Amino acid sequence: MSAKTWLPLLALAALTGCRQDMHDPPRYRAQGSSDFFSDGRVNRPVVEGTVARGQLRADTKFYQGREGGEFVKTLPVELTKDLVKRGQERYNIYCSPCHGMVGDGEGMVVQRGFRHPPSFHLERMRELPVGHYYDVITNGFGAMSSYASRIPVKDRWAIVAYVRALQLSQNATMQDVPEAERGKLSQEGRQ
Amino acid sequence: MSQIFHPSANTIAKVSIFGAIFFAGGLLVILNEVNRSPYVTRVGVAREQPVPFSHKHHVGGIGIDCRYCHTAVETSSAAGIPPTETCMSCHSQIWADSPMLEPVRASFRTDRSIEWTRVHDLPGFVYFDHSIHLKKGVGCVTCHGRVDQMPLMYQQNTLNMEWCLDCHRAPEKYVRPREEVFRMDYRPQESQQVIGARLVKEYKIRKLTDCSVCHR
């Protein structure tokens, strides 16, 4: 064979050789491994003590659920229907496996042997300030681990709002129902 | 000088020209088949993992939401594999002495990540983003299959370009209401045709088939 024929052939063969390199280029992907960093991880933690612009988190009411060292008793965010709805969704994802859908502490994981959390409907639990709930999600409590890395701050408050709604729902009386809706309720009850 | 070739060589030559075409064609078909076979695409091939983590038990059995572990899936391009702390939020107490979970505990003690084997792996020249697909109503199950029935994770679809495009050309065949994206056993209430067409309008779903959508 002359060089005219085999050179292009060689070039073709070389090209196919490159294929896998193009599929897997030498760059880092999220959560990959690296032998450059001593912990073997591609994802780098923020250097300790770093405060990014706009992330001073000086608002202790919002970020720590405390004011002057005491737990806050009212939500530091505006209470809206959307907030409670968001809270419901997030509660069902992150809390219901243990605390149960209605907050009675009978979640599936508890039924498989996890420590029994207290029901949110106990007298003691209903009297705890909202700041305490926020603090538990952020820092964990006894056997329960912290959820800070998985739930953003705003969502934590949404969950707290929803837990309050759950507590109301299990201890409601006719007086809590708006006048216009009462007839509907008693009617449904009778059916 | 006598002839070198017998006259029948003419036929042989003709046949072999046809033969070569068929042979080359056949080779292409075979290559194509190989390229689409599970051997290359790895569809349906369950992977060995350092811990035999079962979506069947955790999702199907206990009913944990995908987002408990794949936290980032709604907001970022990658769904993310959960860190060891996520496992330990339950396994600090459940099956806490099981030898099966020793790699998890070891990882927690030593702060070395568990090295899961990647199951879905697009080539580096393809851009993919989870968050937009979820926002536009594509369910996990449409791409990943019945994860809640997988004792070990495997790939349900080829992830070929053809597969992406099949949906990008006609998203109405697959989209569902946003609230149902995480449901594994979703069944459309009306026919998919009706719902699909409505959702495409409601969510303003475009038909993205330009090369630069995925190759950027």
* Assembly ipTM: 0.83
Residue A15 included in any domain: no
CB contact under 8 A, B125 and A22: yes
Q: What is the pLDDT of residues A94-124, one digit of tens each?
A: 999 999 999 999 999 999 999 999 999 999 9
A128: left (phi over 0), alpha (psi -120 to 50) or beta: beta
Provide the number of structural domains found in chain A.
1
Q: How far, in Å, CA of B209 to CA of B16, rounded? A: 42
Number of residue pairs across A and B with CB atoms under 8 Å? 62
Residue A153 included in any domain: yes
Q: Which of A11-15, B87-91, B167-171 has the lowest mean pLDDT?
A: A11-15
**Given this model, what pLDDT does residue A174 score?**
81
CA of B45 to nearest chain A CA: how many angstroms apart?
20
Q: How far, in Å, CA of B207 to CA of A185, rounded? A: 47
**Given this model, what pLDDT does residue B89 score?**
94
Strands (E), B123-206: none
Residue A131: CA atoms inside 13 Å, Cβ hemisphere, count?
16
Best A94, A115, A116 member to test B by mutation, with max B CBs in 10 Å, is A94
Residue A118 included in any domain: yes
Buried b (16+ CB within 10 A) or exposed e, B166-183: ebbeebbebbbbbeebbe
Best B77, B89, B112 member to test A by mutation, with max A CBs in 10 Å, is B89
**Given this model, what pLDDT does residue A191 score?**
46
Q: Judge whether residue B111 has pLDDT over 80.
A: yes
Residues of B with CB below 8 A from A115's CB? 93
DSSP secondary structure string for all residues of A124-191: HHHHS-HHHHHHHHHH-BTTBPP-TTTS-HHHHHHHHHHHHHHHHHHT--GGGS-HHHHHHHHHHHH-
Q: B35: how many CB neighbours lie within 10 A of its CB?
A: 12
Structure tokens at B146: 């019945």
- The CATH number of the domain where A95 resides is what? 1.10.760.10
Containing domain of residue A114, as a range?
A: 81-173
Res. B214 pLDDT band, cuts 50 70 90: very high
Q: Which of A11-20, A148-157, B73-82 has the lowest mean pLDDT?
A: A11-20
Q: What is the pLDDT of residues B122-157, one digit of tens each?
A: 998 999 999 999 999 999 999 999 999 999 999 999
Say what the pTM is: 0.91
Q: Judge whether residue A148 has pLDDT over 60.
A: yes
Among B60, B115, B56, CA closest to B84 = B115
Tell me if chain A has a CB within 8 Å of the CB of B117.
no
- What chain A residue is nearest to B112 in terms of C-alpha separation? A39
